[in-house]
């Protein structure tokens, strides 16, 4: 069984995202085409005119080289080879190299991407659509990727070296595996997970290699293509855009307009661009490029370049230049025949800043689609909610709001002083009539006294609510325990638990079940019931 609720009902998404999926006109300036099936025809036409045959060939060659290191499915290899065809397009999602995939929404992003490709294939049978997972191998924030949560326990790795996380060694993960091995328990599903972790992280030398192996094994039957864009030939394609950033600070120049408009519309600005939005990478180093007095400096090092030297470095060693979060989207769209990017709310928020930058660089901005979200719950949890006279969407409330709601609907005493407040207002009507016959100071005194009395009733109402919460504390503890089982640490489940927690229940049926439940273009939050 499954159901959906609106993103607005979850109270967990930003106003910008809520307005976007509601097609609010205030958001229209920040995107190219809205994510609906009819939009893809125009996007195909625009992207078709942009992608060069030479770049398609380079992309396919690089991917085939990268896939020589893993046992790829024929479906994935066929999809890679098809990228040279002018009628082949991609749908892309990207994510960091989180240990053992990190939160389960990592899986949701890829499932959303595969499902949308399937839907597009039915709509446009004369085209081919390839799902792509973009590995954020050049990211250097190890703290964000070093852990995952399983059954209310955090498994965390230690950092061995600085620099891009894709090159981070896996050599210290054997102790973590022993801990996981002990905790997983017995059974077919547990055995699969322990072998998956072992083969990914103990048999591969880096996080990039481990992640590619793991994701490929989970999704190879669906033809998923995994790309590591930290590669010289791919970056060579983007040299003109990188050069513009170094010489003209293009990102900050062209996003200033959209950032100002977002602020005017009272939306949060997700990312503030740097003066130069490129890093320099070499020998384990990944540091920002700074410009001062006509010279270019590499942050936290003694390296410096003249303009001519740095441009020569770019032409000779493009692999040494790494895009930050603001340029990565443009780099992606420069090398892929991509129609749509699927991401979370935070990701889409910074993509919305980039439209003028894409226009200036004459690269089509892709359709931006919010990934599928889900709350997976068991039949037993649903029964507990029903016994408490609650619906699943009630648990999206904050713990205090939920406790207040339950107290109101459970208490034998009516905790609502609205009638008393209305009665008080009527009592003061006579005083106001009397005040009309005298000076304004008396009217002010009446108004002040009325407000004082209203405030007193409000205070008593809050005290009564607290008293009833204490009286119902055992009942409320049951509610709180159920909410925490659905929303660990009061977070959305998908942002906390690892996929392995659900895999232990569903096994290999997990991904097919998600594919059957998700409808990416429906723009609804999924509630998915399982038997266990």
- 314 with 407, same domain: the answer is no
Q: Which of 323, 353, 369 is the last residue of a domain?
A: 323
- 280 with 421, same domain: the answer is no
Rounded Cα distance between 93 and 518, Å, is 15
Query: Which DSSP string do the residues of 213-276 spell out, in sequence order?
Result: HHHHHHHGGGT-EEEE---HHHHHHTHHHHHHHHHH-HHHHHHHHHHHHHHHTTPPP--PPPSS
Q: Which domain holds residue 292?
A: 239-323
Query: Is 412 part of any domain?
Result: yes
Q: Which of 323, 355, 390 is the last residue of a domain?
A: 323
Rounded Cα distance between 243 and 153, Å, is 46
Average pLDDT over residues 5-22: 97
* Block residue for tokens 């060693």: 317
- 310 with 393, same domain: the answer is no
- 272 with 410, same domain: the answer is no
Query: Is 288 part of any domain?
Result: yes
The per-residue pLDDT for range 215-254, each reduced to its tens digit, is 999 999 999 999 999 999 999 999 999 999 999 999 999 9
The per-residue pLDDT for range 48-88, each reduced to its tens digit, is 999 999 999 999 999 999 999 899 999 999 999 999 999 99
Query: Is 282 part of any domain?
Result: yes
- 526 with 391, same domain: the answer is yes
- 483 with 401, same domain: the answer is yes
pLDDT of res. 421: 64
Q: What is the 3-state secondary structure (H, E, C) of 211-231?
A: HHHHHHHHHHHHCCEEEECCC
H or E element, residue 40: helix 39-50
Rounded Cα distance between 99 and 168, Å, is 11
State percent of the chain over pLDDT 70.
97
Rounded Cα distance between 397 and 407, Å, is 14
pTM across the whole model: 0.93
Query: Is 348 part of any domain?
Result: no
Query: Is 208 part of any domain?
Result: no
With contact defined as beta carbons under 8 Å apart, do 224 and 215 qualify? yes
Average pLDDT of the chain is 94
Query: Is 394 part of any domain?
Result: yes
pLDDT of res. 412: 66
pLDDT of res. 451: 84
- The answer for residues whose C-beta is within 8 angstroms of residue 529's C-beta and 6 or more apart is 1, 2, 376, 377, 378, 379, 382
Average pLDDT over residues 135-161: 96
Query: Is 456 part of any domain?
Result: yes
- 409 with 526, same domain: the answer is yes
Whether the predicted pLDDT of 110 surpasses 60: yes
* Block residue for tokens 């791919």: 234
pLDDT of res. 1: 52
- 394 with 252, same domain: the answer is no
- 451 with 313, same domain: the answer is no
Reduce the DSSP state of residue 337 to 3 states and report it: coil
- 486 with 387, same domain: the answer is yes
Rounded Cα distance between 115 and 129, Å, is 11
Q: How many domains does the chain have?
A: 2
pLDDT of res. 417: 61
Whether the predicted pLDDT of 212 surpasses 60: yes
Rounded Cα distance between 191 and 142, Å, is 28
- 526 with 383, same domain: the answer is yes
Q: In this predicted model, which residue has the larger pLDDT, 415 or 484?
A: 484
CA nearest neighbour of 35 among 375, 371, 525, 494: 371
- 312 with 382, same domain: the answer is no
Query: Is 411 part of any domain?
Result: yes
Whether the predicted pLDDT of 436 surpasses 90: no
pLDDT of res. 34: 98
């Amino acid at each position: 069984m499954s159901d959906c609720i609106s993103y607005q009902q979850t109270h967990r998404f930003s106003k910008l995202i809520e307005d976007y999926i509601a097609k609010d006109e205030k958001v229209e300036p920040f995107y190219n085409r809205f994510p609906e099936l009819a939009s893809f025809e125009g996007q195909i036409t625009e992207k078709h005119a942009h992608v060069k045959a030479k770049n398609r060939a380079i992309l396919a060659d690089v991917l085939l080289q990268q896939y020589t290191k893993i046992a790829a499915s024929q479906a994935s290899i066929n999809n890679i080879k098809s990228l040279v065809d002018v009628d082949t397009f991609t749908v892309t999602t990207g994510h960091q190299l989180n240990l053992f995939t990190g939160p389960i929404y990592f899986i949701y992003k890829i499932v959303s991407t595969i499902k949308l490709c399937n839907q597009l294939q039915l709509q446009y049978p004369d085209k081919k659509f390839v799902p792509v997972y973009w590995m954020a191998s050049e990211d250097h924030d190890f703290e964000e990727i070093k852990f995952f949560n399983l059954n209310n326990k955090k498994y965390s790795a230690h950092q061995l070296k600085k620099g891009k996380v894709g090159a981070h060694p896996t050599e210290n993960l054997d102790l973590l595996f022993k801990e996981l091995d002990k905790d997983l328990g017995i059974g077919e599903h547990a055995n699969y997970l322990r072998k998956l972790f072992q083969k990914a992280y103990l048999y591969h030398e880096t996080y990039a290699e481990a992640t590619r192996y793991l994701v490929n094994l989970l999704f190879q039957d669906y033809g998923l293509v995994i790309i590591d864009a930290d590669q010289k030939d791919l970056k060579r394609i983007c040299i003109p855009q990188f050069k513009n950033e170094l010489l003209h600070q293009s990102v900050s120049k062209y996003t200033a307009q959209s950032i100002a408009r977002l602020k005017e519309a009272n939306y949060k600005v997700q990312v503030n661009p740097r003066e130069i939005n490129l890093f320099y990478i070499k020998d384990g180093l990944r540091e920002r490029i700074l410009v001062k007095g006509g010279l270019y400096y590499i942050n936290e090092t003694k390296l410096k370049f003249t303009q001519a030297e740095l441009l020569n470095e770019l032409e000779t060693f493009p692999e040494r230049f790494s895009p930050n979060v603001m340029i990565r989207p443009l780099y992606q769209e420069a090398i892929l025949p991509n129609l749509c990017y699927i991401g979370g709310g935070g990701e889409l928020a910074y993509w919305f800043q980039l439209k003028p930058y894409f226009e200036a660089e004459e690269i089509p901005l892709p359709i931006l689609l919010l990934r599928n979200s889900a709350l997976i719950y068991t039949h037993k949890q649903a029964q507990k909610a029903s016994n408490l006279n609650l619906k699943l969407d009630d648990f999206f409330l904050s713990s205090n709001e939920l406790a207040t709601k339950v107290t109101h609907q459970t208490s034998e005493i009516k905790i609502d002083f609205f009638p008393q407040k209305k009665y008080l207002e009527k009592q003061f009507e006579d005083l106001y009539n009397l005040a009309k016959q005298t000076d304004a100071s008396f009217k002010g005194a009446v108004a002040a006294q009325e407000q004082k009395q209203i405030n007193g009733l409000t205070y008593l109402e809050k005290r009564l609510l607290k008293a009833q919460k204490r009286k119902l504390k055992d009942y409320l503890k049951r509610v709180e325990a159920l909410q925490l089982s659905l929303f660990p640490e009061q977070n959305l489940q998908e942002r906390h638990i690892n996929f392995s927690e659900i895999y232990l229940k569903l096994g290999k049926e997990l991904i097919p079940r998600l594919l059957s439940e998700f409808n990416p273009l429906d723009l609804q939050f999924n509630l998915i019931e399982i038997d266990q």
